[in-house]
Copies of this chain bind each other. A is one copy, B any other.
């Protein structure tokens, strides 16, 4: 295993690439992939257009990298939620985390994974599909976690783990949309708790 970034050659980059990526996340988050123009992006990132292309490849590549960074950063609550001891605690942590992430002051309302590219023109279809896959992956993680809960006797044997996972993801999607529509954190917390009321009890 050799180093992946062997030796820096030539003139060093004058901006922090991760910080620029963070700024890009905010732009895509609030305007969506199609709504975010290169002028929007370069202005927010504080770099010129060619710098963006050298560092990130294309607008589409930049979006994928932004989504990756968003996943590892602002939605890391999701990975932590999966580690909760019981299925009920997992569900609660997921929905509460969703509400908090979707209504954090100073950040765009909602969720990049939902708002980024829901309905698009033909050109942006790959981005749309990538977000579908992103959400699908969350469902897959939850499904495995709830199957494990069934196996461990933490959920009734008759439980359909996939249905529970899809249910959670659906409510989370709805919370993201409502947050983007201006619903407040306390309101959405109540909604989340109401949704958790139908969680199967042993």
Contact = CB atoms under 8 A, between A and B. Distances in A.
B187 A171 contact: no
Interface in A181-199: 181-183, 187-188, 190-191, 194-198
Interface of A: 29-32, 34-37, 40, 110, 114-116, 118-122, 124, 132, 135-136, 160, 163-164, 166-167, 169-178, 180-183, 187-188, 190-191, 194-198
A32 B119 CA distance: 5
Contact of A174 (B34, B171, B188): B171
Main secondary structure of the interface of A (DSSP, over half): helix
Contacts of A40: 121
A35 B121 contact: yes
Contacts of A176: 177
22 contacts: A29-B119, A30-B119, A32-B34, A32-B121, A34-B34, A34-B121, A110-B119, A114-B177, A118-B177, A135-B177, A163-B191, A166-B187, A166-B190, A166-B191, A167-B195, A169-B178, A170-B191, A171-B195, A173-B173, A173-B177, A174-B175, A174-B177
